[in-house]
Structure 1
């Protein structure tokens, strides 16, 4: 009892601090993702990577918003509200679903760029515009299935359990069987949603990042070697090839940075999930429930940071993106100053 009280006291101190961090990050991340979407809309969707980056920003926007609302709910001590438990679970589930969607889109972006680097002559056949759009639409649709199944099954289990306490012995046995079956289905969906999808996404991003890094170093060595052996008669062609190679390398570096940030920021959530499966008491109703809640909020904050930082990456590493963003902001400032006058 003393340990439980101590963890509860610690959670009461940690939760408000993390909640304020989540709210602040959520507000800035929302603005950042909206700007990212507007800039890519201004740049146009002539390339597949622009479509994928826009989809990533849309997914990040939803993820950041729902984590922000969950942080606000925790800050206001929603446990005193009548439907607090269901509201809290719904917010966490939606934020989790959107973070899984973000991981799948990040994996697709990494795979898309990796195929373009490894098979430069076949990439236009392997990854076309319709394939990119179809893949992203499928990711957006499929990632809502697990959370819907979890809530449907959970409500069904609750109804069946309620019937168990108000039934005859025959109905008791039948309802108990269906309740167990539904609970097993729910556990299977949770494993798929909490372990399989994040793990496969993380491994895909990791493998593609390593491959892109190796190819990037090989490209740098090729440029250094050719710069020392270029003939004067072929100088113009060499400059054209070097410029094209440098532009492709910049795009690859951008994907690598986005992928590395994702890999690092997804580790706390992965550690939380792994511990939940390995340690029985590390759960919402276990002996370590307050530590579970504090770690979950911290992991959610790190996930939120991952969904908020891409604007900085795109601005720092993309000349066209930076120029377009600067132009949009300057136009907005001029319009505001003109309106005041």
Structure 2
């Protein structure tokens, strides 16, 4: 599992470097950079969480309780940032849908400035509730007899208002937010797939019409207009295809998280300090692994489906120079 986190860390770091090199004149580069940054934070927090659960690490002499510390600084942080990833993916999917529905107005609606504001708002609305964890949980020094030492530990608050706040944050940010984002991505993906099929059918009909005009009466007087439309459609279609692949990957990898959230709402004791703690940890590990796979695959999608990203990445890695020397 740690290898997948390392791969995702390297992949997202390279993605951020490439998007910085490409610039942020296009709104899609801003949203994809935000997605890579959120994935990077998820990977780092997941790596730390898994490290805290390793037996050798837990049994080593540490000034803190590694397992409980992972609740806030590891898996807890990952849980909130993964919601950021979900909403950024939903925004990217909605952006592509708008490009198809209102192609003439989308440039005025989705600008680099508006995209940046949207990314900041998404990060604030999904990450700020994480700060409430420091009210519902406390850092205390606890003496452990078997260790003969006092170490830093994390304990849930007994304050009734803190317990109420935790329940509200869990329902709103832990269940409703990710499920709504997941639903948006799912609906937008279905819509985009349908539109891709229509684009493909339209292109085939245009190609057939061009062949018919060329065979019967030479050059079609209106052939230049369809040619321009065809080029625009192909450029848009490539970006739509990439977003669809990213969305499908997200849906496949985020499904375990949604299942765990739904089960947590049904079984109240399915949480970190509950009766089914071990099952909760196992489910959390599976969800974290899925998110890590999603984050590590994105760079492969960009590399295969975007020529500008591919050339910039090869330039950063120095591969183009090596080919020129040979």
TM (norm. structure 2) is 0.84
Q: Is the 8 A contact 1:154 1:186 kept in 2?
A: no
Superposed, which structure 2 residues align to 1:128-147 within 5 Å?
Answer: 128-147=111-130
Q: Is the 8 A contact 1:150 1:189 kept in 2?
A: no
- 1:239 and 1:315, CA in 2 relative to 1: closer, same or farther beyond 3 A? same
The answer to whether 1:325 aligns with 2:313 is yes
- 1:180 and 1:77, CA in 2 relative to 1: closer, same or farther beyond 3 A? farther
How many angstroms does 1:300 deviate by?
Answer: 0.9
How many angstroms does 1:30 deviate by?
Answer: 0.8
- Of 245, 248, 251 in structure 2, the residue corresponding to residue 263 of structure 1 is 251
Higher strand share: 2
Q: Is the 8 A contact 2:271 2:277 kept in 1?
A: yes
Superposed, which structure 2 residues align to 1:95-110 within 5 Å?
Answer: 95-110=78-93
Match of 1:316 in 2: 304
Match of 1:125 in 2: 108
How many angstroms does 1:79 deviate by?
Answer: 4.9
Distance (Å, rounded) in 1 between the aligned partners of 2:279 and 2:14: 36
**What SS is found at the alignment partner of 1:307?**
helix
Superposed, which structure 2 residues align to 1:113-262 within 5 Å?
Answer: 113-155=96-138, 179-230=159-210, 231=213, 232=219, 233-262=221-250
- 1:333 and 1:191, CA in 2 relative to 1: closer, same or farther beyond 3 A? farther
Consecutive unaligned residues of structure 1, counting only runs of 5 or more, are 1-20, 159-177
Q: Is the 8 A contact 1:316 1:322 kept in 2?
A: yes
**What SS is found at the alignment partner of 1:283?**
coil
Aligned length: 294
Q: Alpha-carbon deviations, 1:223-257, whole Å to 9, x = none? A: 11121123423334333321221111000000111
Q: Is the 8 A contact 2:24 2:30 kept in 1?
A: yes
The answer to whether 1:67 aligns with 2:50 is no
RMSD over equivalenced CA pairs, Å? 2.2
Q: Is the 8 A contact 1:40 1:50 kept in 2?
A: yes
Q: Which moved more, 1:51-60 or 1:319-328?
A: 319-328
The answer to whether 1:84 aligns with 2:51 is no
- Of 20, 27, 30 in structure 1, the residue corresponding to residue 6 of structure 2 is 27
Q: Alpha-carbon deviations, 1:297-337, whole Å to 9, x = none? A: 12211111111110000011111111221222126986xx9
How many angstroms does 1:262 deviate by?
Answer: 0.6
**What SS is found at the alignment partner of 1:203?**
helix
Distance (Å, rounded) in 2 between the aligned partners of 1:116 and 1:263: 22
Distance (Å, rounded) in 1 between the aligned partners of 2:124 and 2:95: 20
Q: Is the 8 A contact 1:114 1:212 kept in 2?
A: yes
Q: Alpha-carbon deviations, 1:28-66, whole Å to 9, x = none? A: 111111111111111111110011111111111111111
**What SS is found at the alignment partner of 2:222?**
helix
Distance (Å, rounded) in 2 between the aligned partners of 1:332 and 1:320: 13
Match of 2:24 in 1: 45
**What SS is found at the alignment partner of 2:303?**
helix
Higher helix share: 1
Distance (Å, rounded) in 1 between the aligned partners of 2:30 and 2:82: 19
> RCO greater where, 1 or 2, for CA within 8 Å and sep 6 or more?
1
Q: Is the 8 A contact 1:66 1:94 kept in 2?
A: yes
Q: Is the 8 A contact 2:39 2:295 kept in 1?
A: yes
Consecutive unaligned residues of structure 2, counting only runs of 5 or more, are 141-157, 214-218
